[in-house]
Amino acid sequence: MCPTIAVNAPVGVMDSGVGGLSVLKHLARQLPNEHFTYFADSAHAPYGNKTATEIQQRCFEIAETLIAQGAKTLVVACNTATAAAIGAMRQHYTLPIVGMEPAVKPAAAASKNGIIGVLATTGTLQSAQFAALLEHYGQQVQVITQACIGLVECIEQGQLDTPHTQALLRQYCQPLMDAGADTVVLGCTHYPFVRAHIQAIVGPAVTLIDTGAAVAKRLHQVLAEKELLNTANEAGDFVFLTSGTQATQRVMHTLWNISA
């Protein structure tokens, strides 16, 4: 056990914006006794069009903020940030850090026809991490990737049901459907908030996969290994921080109170 870290200290969760709230929901369900501090970097969203250096700089600044808040571990609840920065963060910090990855492996296992689609940001799809996932798990399946330019911005603004958002979703899902994908990976933590709309477009026979539950399972494992699980018989609480505006805070409140 780490003697300098209290088991009732919060878990710090970071994302480029509000999308990581979809991961936080999974964390809270699986670890109901844990306290969480969430940071939405909405003033700098999206990360998908930034360089790795820029993303690393933001991740380190947010990590410092969360550590100053007493975080006992960090969850990088952003696929793009994980790909760009988690390696450098793990070299720099001693506390445990859990990241994301697009669910290529479970999608390949779930697919019946061997055709899977991946909806993600440009940054994620162009990353070495994603290339490694394809190399390891995509050899026996056909993987159709689709960069969803502009979709994160819509969700950041709380525009889940607008005609523009719906048009983007149809535009980005169509190539996957044309290719015959029977399984689609939601490769950005923002996308579960429009999951119902995606499902309506691709049809009920297509399986949608996100990685929130897997990240929660991994966090539980890491905290247990480090003897940092909060076993107190109490419900965890939540602190929400953002680099964004009051409008961001309103969107966070709205998304936190809906199902994802």
Q: What is the pLDDT of residues 186-227, one digit of tens each?
A: 999 999 999 999 999 999 999 999 999 999 999 999 999 999
Sign of torsion, CA 45 48 49 55? positive
Question: Among the options 2, 59, 78, 154, which is catalytic?
Answer: 78
93 annotated ligand binder: no
Model confidence at 252: pLDDT above 70: yes
Order the strands of the 183-186 sheet from edge to edge: 142-147, 115-120, 183-186, 207-209
Model's pTM, two decimal places?
0.94
48 labelled as ligand-binding? yes
Domain boundaries, the chain: 11-100+212-256, 104-209
DSSP conformation class of 10: P
pLDDT tens digits, residue range 88-132?
Answer: 999 999 999 999 988 999 999 999 999 999 999 999 999 999 999
| 15 has binding-site annotation | yes
State yes or no: 180 annotated in a binding site: no
User: 11-100+212-256 has which fold?
Assistant: Rossmann fold (3.40.50)
In tens, the pLDDT along 58-67 reads 999 999 999 9
Q: Which pLDDT belongs to residue 1?
A: 38
* Nearest of 185, 154, 153, 192 to residue 23 by alpha carbon: 192
Instruction: Specify the DSSP class assigned to residue 191.
Output: G
Q: Is residue 188 annotated as part of the catalytic site, yes or no?
A: yes
In terms of Cβ atoms closer than 10 Å to its own Cβ (0-12, 13-18, 19+), residue 258 is: exposed
59, 148, 154, 188: the active-site residue: 188
Place of tokens 């964004």: 244
**In this predicted structure, what is the pLDDT of residue 2?**
42
d(CA 214, CA 207): 16
16 is in an annotated binding site: yes
3: pLDDT confidence band, cut at 50, 70 and 90?
very low
CATH 3.40.50.970 fits 104-209, yes or no: no
Shared fold status for 11-100+212-256 and 104-209: yes
